[in-house]
Amino acid sequence: MACGGRRPEHRGPPELFYNEDEARKYTHNSRMIEIQTQMSERAVELLSLPEDQPCFLLDVGCGSGLSGDFISEQGHYWVGIDISSAMLDVAVDREVEGDLLKGDMGQGIPFRPGSFDGCISISAVQWLCNADQRMHNPAKRLHRFFSSLYSALARGARAVLQLYPENAEQLELITTQAMKAGFTGGMVVDFPNSTKAKKFFLCLFVGPSGVLPTGLGTECGDEQERKESKFSKERLRYKTAKGKSLKKSRDWILEKKERRRRQGKEVRADTRYTGRKRRPHF
Partner 1 sequence: MKLLTHNLLSSHVRGVGPRGFPLRIQATEVRVSPVDFNPDFVTRMIPKMEWTALVEAAESLGHLSELPRELAEGYEKDEEFLRKVHHVLLEVEVVEGTLQCPESGRLFPISRGIPNMLLSDEEAAS
Binding site for partner 1 (CB under 8 A): 53-54, 56, 77, 79, 81, 83, 88-89, 92, 99-104, 107-112, 114-115, 133, 135, 140, 144, 148
CA 202 to chain centre: 10
* Beta carbon nearer to partner 1, 89 or 166: 89
CB of 214 to partner 1, least distance (A): 30
* Beta carbon nearer to partner 1, 114 or 213: 114
CB of 253 to partner 1, least distance (A): 38
CB of 150 to partner 1, least distance (A): 14
CB of 55 to partner 1, least distance (A): 8
Q: Contact, 170 vs 178, CB < 8 A?
A: no
Q: For residues 245 and 239, give the distance between their C-alpha atoms in angstroms, rounded to a whole number.
A: 5
Question: What one-character-per-residue DSSP string does 159-210 give?
Answer: EEEEE--SSHHHHHHHHHHHHHTT-EEEEEEESTT-TTT-EEEEEEESSS--
Q: Contact, 55 vs 118, CB < 8 A?
A: yes
Rounded to a whole number of angstroms, the CA Rg of the chain reads 21
* Beta carbon nearer to partner 1, 135 or 168: 135
> Nearest Cα to 152, choosing from 185, 122, 121, 109?
109
* Beta carbon nearer to partner 1, 130 or 162: 130
Cα distances (Å, whole numbers) of residue 278 to 8, 257, 274, 281? 46, 19, 10, 8
* Beta carbon nearer to partner 1, 110 or 213: 110
CB of 48 to partner 1, least distance (A): 17
